[in-house]
Structure 1
Amino acid sequence: MPTLSKLVCAALTCLAVQLPAHADNTDGSFQTAPSFSWWSGDKSANNNATGGGGVFGGRSLSVDGLINSAKNLIGLPYRAGGTSPTSGFDCSGFVQYVFKHAANVDLPRTSRDMAQVGQSVSRDNLRPGDMVFFAHTRGGGNRISHVGVYVGEGHFIHSPSTGKTIQINSMDSGYWSSKFVTARRVTD
């Protein structure tokens, strides 16, 4: 017999899948779960690296579990230096938390240090679960200052900045399209 918490979780998941995909904000962010094929159950679009999860340091990593764990945090506030759901996350605190709690993968604390972990991936070869890195500091250049997790179809989930919440944004249009620097894969 399912526990009450499992029933509530299943009901909330069903509700999230049914929310309209057009509930996006003018800045291209989603405050609700978008209805991309990888979210709505199209198994051909799901990407469990190496067919059932990738391996990082001998541990199995379910990409679907990683993405779902990240999506469960949508709406939590950005907080500089934040590393927990109770107080909020900065970008690297969010990514570090998701990988640790979804797959027991320990990542460095800063986005610049995270960009040294795993395998380099080109923008054209991104897969869900890849870490994506951006430069959005004043003065330009390619100095990494932001990280998120690629969720598929040109979108990534991240904790953007003060006054905002964890959200999904497009990498292909708007602010983030010109800020991409590199990507890293720790899922295989």
Structure 2
Amino acid sequence: MKKAIKYVVLLVAAFAVVFVSSNKSNQVFAASKPTYSKLYKTAKSKLHAHYSYGAVGPNCFDCSGYTKYIYKKSVKKNLPRTAQSQYQSFKKVSVQNRKPGDLVFFGGSKRSISHVGIYVGKGLMINAQNRGVVLESVSAPWWHAVGYSRPANLK
């Protein structure tokens, strides 16, 4: 009888260990999912940084260097180096389905992307350009939006 009780106690303990450890791994996974708030906080922290063609941060950027730096630093997502290669690398989304954190691309056409910014909602983006890192309208008259892409599914 004592052996049977020990066996049942061991079985219950083993089940409890498996259950608790699986819940912890799910919590770790859920906590590590990239969030828009982390991306936005990092992007905002670089407002007014200087612009320099070819610069990738941390204090000076060009447009694609900025998006690459922000995604890597905030959500551990590695983006290609140029605006054109960033456009070609990720799932496209329509204007109607864009979300904060998506990349917005500008240029003459889909084959001649010349600029990229991070869409932050309400028609605004943060981008690095000749005035430095700024918050501005996606529909500013000097930009011709070509499309949007979603490098990461942010919660």
Pair in the same fold by TM > 0.5: yes
Alignment partners' CA distance in 1, 2:147 and 2:139: 14
Contact 2:106 2:115 in 1 (8 A): yes
Scaled by the length of structure 2, the TM-score of the pair is: 0.73
Which residue does the alignment assign to 2:145?
A: 180
Inter-partner Cα distance in structure 1 for 2:105 and 2:145: 6
RMSD: 1.6
Q: State the aligned residue count.
A: 122
Distance 1:151 1:134, change over 3 A: same
**Structure 1 consecutive aligned stretches of length 4 or more whose deviation exceeds 2 Å:** 172-176
Relative to the length of structure 1, the TM-score reads: 0.61
Specify whether residues 109 and 180 from structure 1 end up closer, same or farther in structure 2 by C-alpha distance, changes over 3 A only. same
Show structure 1 runs of 5+ residues with no match: 1-54
1:166 pairs, out of 129, 133, 137, with 133
Aligned AA for 2:47? I
Secondary structure at the counterpart of residue 51 of structure 2? coil
Q: Secondary structure at the match of 2:104?
A: strand
Residue number in structure 1 paired with 2:75: 103
User: Residue 86 of structure 2 corresponds to which residue in structure 1?
Assistant: 114
Give the counterpart letter for 2:106 in structure 1: F
2:96 partner amino acid: D
Select 2:106's aligned residue among 134, 142, 152: 134
Q: Are residue 151 (structure 1) and residue 116 (structure 2) matched?
A: no
Rounded Cα–Cα distance in structure 2 between residues aligned with 1:186 and 1:168: 20
Extract unaligned runs of 5+ from structure 2. Answer: 1-29
Identity, % of aligned positions: 34
